[in-house]
Structure 1
Amino acid sequence: MALLSIITPELGLFFWQTVIFLVTLFLLSKFAWGPIMSALREREDSITDALSAADKARADIEKLQATNEALLVEARAERDRILAEAQKAATTMLEDARAKATTEGNRLIEAARISIQTEKNAALNEVKNYTATLALDIAEKILRKELSNSDEQRNLVNEYIKEVNLN
């Protein structure tokens, strides 16, 4: 029975344990549960605020990324437009330079052609004048000399022709 008395509580012990439990529960609820619960509420509120701030930050980052993508697309389009304009300007400048070079080349060729024609005409006139002068000199020499036969005239003409060097 001694063993049974240890296992089975007595009514007095049970009463005092219940009273102590209730007093402890009252003191804890009065002094400990309030601050613990308010600390838990504050913690829950701070976690909620942190989560909402993280969601807001995520939304802001997504907006910034979208804005950055739009700016990047716009910058690429602007770059492509500038490159196209530069290419067009380079092509235009190249075509203008080619046209000017062709015009200048044609002008120089025409000027050279005119100069060659002028010098050719001058050379032909000089040859004509020299030939006329030479023919007059020969005719004068032939007429001055009295020749009796045609063989002497031919010999004289051949001799004058050998004397005249057409260089």
Structure 2
Amino acid sequence: MDKLINDFSFGLFFWQALILVILILLLVKFAWKPIMESITAREEGIKNALLSAENAKREMENLQADNQRILNEARAERDAMLKEAREMKEKMIADSKNEAQEAGQKMIEQAKAAIESEKNAAMAELKSQVSTLSLSIAEKLLKEELSNKESQTKLVEKMLGDVKLN
């Protein structure tokens, strides 16, 4: 370092300074503008990339919100469909129960009517048999009682006496 300070030459310093200034002027004239343009372009590219990233982030948030909304709507629709299906099932069960009760009631009424009809038929049959049997018994009794002449005469006189009383 001492040697540089001791061997200082003003001419050499002047030429070095002049070359430095010329070099700076050449760089400013020819290289500075392209370098600045590339730096500016780079800055613009970075800004655009940041804006794109921000837009992508917002778009992603919007998509997530839309997805959540669609998911909530789908869940609500599913719940509504399940509720409707349950209501339909309960209505169908209730309708089936009512139809079964009505059918059972009709069957009971038909059975009662059939029983009543059979009862009436049996009663008519019984009456018919009783009357036939009664006539048969009465016929046998009358034959036996009227087998002799004396009982026939008494019966005729009694009947004639009844006719006079009326």
| Superposed pair shares fold, TM > 0.5 | yes
**Cα separation, 2, equivalents of 1:25 and 1:64:** 53
Cα RMSD, aligned residues only = 2.4
CA shift, 1:135, in A, is: 2.5
**Cα separation, 1, equivalents of 2:57 and 2:63:** 10
- Alpha carbons of 1:4 and 1:74: their partners in 2 closer, same or farther (altered >3 Å)? closer
> Is 1:49 the equivalent of 2:34?
no
1:66 paired residue number: 65
**Cα separation, 2, equivalents of 1:4 and 1:121:** 153
**Cα separation, 2, equivalents of 1:8 and 1:103:** 130
1:127 paired residue number: 126
Within 5 Å, which residues of 2 pair with 1:16-95?
16-95=15-94
Give ranges in structure 2 of 5+ residues lacking alignment. Answer: 147-166
**Cα separation, 1, equivalents of 2:108 and 2:3:** 138
CA shift, 1:114, in A, is: 1.0
TM-score, normalising length: structure 2: 0.75
**Cα separation, 2, equivalents of 1:79 and 1:4:** 92
2:99 paired residue number: 100
**Cα separation, 2, equivalents of 1:64 and 1:126:** 90
**Cα separation, 2, equivalents of 1:112 and 1:120:** 12
The count of aligned residue pairs is 145
CA shift, 1:83, in A, is: 1.9
**Cα separation, 2, equivalents of 1:52 and 1:70:** 26
Superimposed CA distance per residue, residues 130-163 of structure 1 (whole angstroms, 9 cap, x where no aligned partner): 122123213322432469xxxxxxxxxxxxxxxx
CA shift, 1:100, in A, is: 1.5
TM-score, normalising length: structure 1: 0.75
2:142 paired residue number: 143
CA shift, 1:22, in A, is: 1.9
Bigger drift between 112-121 and 68-77 goes to 68-77
**Cα separation, 2, equivalents of 1:87 and 1:124:** 54
Higher relative contact order (CA 8 A, sep 6+): 1
- Alpha carbons of 1:55 and 1:4: their partners in 2 closer, same or farther (altered >3 Å)? closer
Which amino acid in 1 is paired with 2:133?
L
CA shift, 1:87, in A, is: 1.5
* Sequence identity (%): 44
**Cα separation, 1, equivalents of 2:139 and 2:61:** 114
Which amino acid in 1 is paired with 2:104?
G
CA shift, 1:68, in A, is: 2.4
- Alpha carbons of 1:4 and 1:43: their partners in 2 closer, same or farther (altered >3 Å)? closer
